[in-house]
Structure 1
Amino acid sequence: AAAEGRVRAWAAAQAARGRRVALVTSGGTQVPLEARAVRFLENFSSGRRGAASAERLVRAGYGVLILWLVPASWASPWAFFPCPVPHPRPHVLSLFVGQALPPVLSQVGSCLLLPGPHPEYQALSQAFCLCLESHPGANPCLLPLGDSSRVPTGSSAMFYLAAAVSDFYIPVSEMPEHKIQSSEGPLQITMKMVPKMLSPLVRDWAPEAFVISFKLETDPQILLDKSRQALEKYRHQVVVANVLESRRTSVIIVTRDSQTPLSLSNEEIAQGMEIEEKIVSYLQGQHTAFIERKG
C-alpha cells in the first residue's frame, strides 16, 4: 500500500507538470528448479533494450517508471541509468556512470525514487525515475505491475513491456527442497504456464493506456502472425516484433491495421546509433495520435 501510494504521488506530480508517463519493464527472468535454488532456467535477456528505451523516453519528455527484473543490464553508455551489477540494491545506487550518487528522494520497500543525475538532464530535472526492484522468478511483473498501473494517468500513460518474462515456472509446492542430484539419472521437469498479465492490464488495470508489448521469435516466418494474434487476443495497441539475430538493428512495429519496419543503415550502425532511438521516436508519434483519438 505504501509503495502504491508512492507511485500514485509520483504519477500525480508528473501529470501536474504536463508530462506523459511511461512504465518500462526490463530484463530477463530466472526460474528456480529447487526451493533452495542452485539451478535455474533462464532466458538471455539482459535488460539492454529496456534501459536504452527508458533513457530515450526521458529525453522525449516522459516521466519514466522502471520495473526491472534482476539481473538486468545497464550498459556504460547510458549515464542516466546504473551499470551492470549482480543485485539491484544497494549497489545499483552507487554505480552511476561517471556521476556521484544521486539523492534518494524516497525508499519504501522495494521502491526507489531517483532524480536524473547527469548534467545533460538539467532541463529535465523534474523528470524523476521510479525504479521498482523485482524478484527474478517466473512471474515477477504481476503484483508490482498491477500496483503501479493503478494510477490516474489515462491515455497519457504508456506501458512499454520490454521485459522477457518466462512462459513457464515450477510452483514452490512442487519444487524439491534441496539441490537436484545428478546421481539420480536423467532429469525430467514438468512446468506450469505463467499467467499472462496483458489481459488484466488492458482490461482492468489500465484500460485507457497506450500498451506496447514485444514479440521475439527465431523463425521470421511466424513473427507477424504471432504478433497479430497477440493484438487480437489481448486487445492492446502495438507489438514490437523482432527476430533474435537481427534484434539490435531491425524491428517491425505491428498494429491492428499496419506493419512498419524500422531498421538501422550501415552508416547509422557505424555512428553508434541504437535501434531503440527509432523505436521510441516512432512510438511517441503513435502515442500522440492515440491521445488525440481518445480526445
Structure 2
Amino acid sequence: MSSMGEDEEVSSFFESSPPLKKMEDILQKLNGFIEHNSSGGGRRIVCVTSGGTTVPLEQRCVRYIDNFSSGNRGAASTENFVKAGYAVVFLYRSGTCQPYCRSLPDDPFLDCFQFLDNTNIQVHSSHVEAVKMAVMDQQAAVAEARLLKLPFTTIYEYLQMLRLIATALKDVGPCSMFYLAAAVSDFYVPWNSMTEHKIESGSGPLDIRLAQVPKMLSILRTTWAPKAFCISFKLETDAKILIDKATKALGKYKVHAVVANELSTRKEEVVVVSSSGNVVVRRDSDKPESIVEDNLIRLIVDRHSTYIKESHS
C-alpha cells in the first residue's frame, strides 16, 4: 500500500493518464444537458455507469485485459430511470448493451429486416413491435433531452469521464445520483511504465506488474460530488462472502447503498445493503417479461426521494 494520501494517489493516477480525447466536446454536451435538466423544473439527474473497463498493455494498444460485464444491468436500469422521470447520463463501455435494445436480437440484428424491393427495406413482421418500441422510446428520451450517452473503453477514459460528470453535477446536490454499475478494473499498467509499441511475442513468457487502481469511490463521495446520492455495486462469484464484502464497502466508502449481486443468480435477484438493513429484490417470477431492474429501480428511486426530503429539512 502506498504511503501517499488517497488524494495524492488519485491525482498522480490522473496526472499520468493519457489526455482524454474530445474533452471539450464531452464537457459542452454534459454542461448543456445538466443545465437543461436542472434549471426550471429541476429534474433529478442520475449518472448510470455500465459495462467493463479495459486495461491497455501497450500505449498503441493491441492487447488489453478486460473486465466481464455485458452492460445489461446499466441499460435496463437506464430505461427504468427515464420512466421514473430522471434525466440519465449513461456512461457506457463502447459495444455493450444499450438502453431500449434489450428486446432486439443481439448478434443477427440484421435479421430484423427484409427487402421489399431494391429501394425499400422493412422490419420483419416478427420484430415489428420490438423495433417500434425501441425506436420510439429511445427517440423520445433523446428528444426530451433525458438521455445523454457517453462511451468509454479504457480505465483511464472511464475515471476521467466519471470525474468530469461528478464535478459538473456538484451543484445539482441531493437531486443528483450516481448508480455505479460498471465493472471497474482493480489493477492497471501505469501509462508511463507501459511500452509504446506492440509487445513482442517471440521473447518468451510475459511478466507484467499491475498496479492497484486507486479507489475513486471515497473521493467521489468526499470531494467530487459530496451531496449526491450514491449507489455502488458488488459482484462476487462466491455467495458466501458477498454480503460481508458489500457491508464492508458500505462502511468504507460511505455510499448510501450497495447492490450485492452473485454472478450466477444476478438476473433473478440482488440484495440492497444499506444502514437500514438488507433488502432482497427479485424479479416478478409470475411475469415472464419482468426483470429484476424494474423492482430495483423502484426501490432506489424511493430511497432517493427520502434522501432529498431529509436533505431539505
What is residue 50 of structure 2 aligned with on the other side?
26
Q: Structure 2 CA distance, aligned partners of 1:51 and 1:76?
A: 7
1:11 aligns to 2:58 (yes or no): no
CA pair 75-21 structure 1, distance change in 2 beyond 3 A:
closer
1:157 aligned to 2:176? yes
What is the CA-CA distance between 1:120 and the residue it aligns to? 8.5
Match of 1:280?
A: 297
Equivalent pair of 2:281/2:295 in contact (CA under 8 Å): yes
Report the equivalent of 2:151.
133
Match of 1:46 among 53, 61, 70: 70
Instruction: Point out the more displaced range, 273-282 or 121-130.
Output: 121-130
Does the C-alpha gap of structure 1 residues 281 and 165 become closer, same or farther in structure 2, counting only changes over 3 Å? same
Shift of 1:48: 1.2
Verify the 8 A CA contact 2:79 2:99 in the aligned structure 1. no
Structure 2 residue aligned with 1:190: 209
TM-score by length of 2: 0.76
Deviation for aligned residue 1:5: 4.5
Matches of 1:283 and 1:42 in 2, distance apart? 29
Q: Give the deviation of 1:142 after TM superposition.
A: 2.0
The 5 Å alignment of 1:150-229 reads 150=167, 151=169, 152-229=171-248
Q: Is the 8 A contact 2:142 2:148 kept in 1?
A: no
Q: Which residue of 2 is the match for residue 142 of structure 1? A: 159
The 1:123–1:219 alpha-carbon spacing in structure 2 relative to 1, beyond 3 Å, is: closer
Matched, 1:292 2:309: yes
**Identity of matched residues, %:** 39
Structure 2 counterpart of 1:255: 274
Q: Which residue is equivalent to 2:120? A: none
Number of matched residues? Answer: 265
For 2:309, the aligned partner's letter is E
Equivalent residues of 1:20, 1:61 under 8 A apart: yes
- Whether contact under 8 Å (2:262, 2:270) holds in the other structure is yes
Q: Which runs of 5+ in 1 are unaligned?
A: 85-96, 100-115
Q: Please state how far the C-alpha of 1:176 moved relative to its aligned partner.
A: 2.9
Matches within 5 A, 1:102-121: 118=136
Task: State the distance in 2 between where 1:139 and 1:222 align.
Answer: 29
Contact kept in structure 2, 1:23 and 1:158, CA below 8 Å: yes
1:73 and 2:97 aligned: yes
- Output the aligned Cα RMSD: 2.9
Contact 2:33-2:145 at 8 Å conserved across structures: no
Residue 37 of structure 1: aligned partner: 61
Aligned AA for 1:138? I
Question: Once the 2 structures are TM-superposed, how far is the Cα of residue 25 of structure 1 from its aligned partner?
Answer: 0.8
* Cα separation, 2, equivalents of 1:153 and 1:68: 22
- The question of 1:240 aligning with 2:259 is answered yes
Contact 2:272 2:281 in 1 (8 A): yes
Where 1:22 maps in the other structure, the secondary structure is strand
Deviation at 1:265, TM superposition (A): 4.7
User: Is 1:64 aligned with 2:81?
Assistant: no
- TM-score, scaled relative to structure 1: 0.80
**Amino acid aligned to 1:186:** P
Q: Residues 40 and 291 (structure 1 numbering): CA distance in 2 closer, same or farther, change over 3 Å?
A: same
> In the TM superposition, what is the alpha-carbon distance from 1:275 to its structure 2 partner?
0.9
Q: Report if the CA contact (8 A) 2:86-2:146 is conserved.
A: no
Distance (whole Å) between structure 2 residues aligned to residue 44 and residue 123 of structure 1: 28
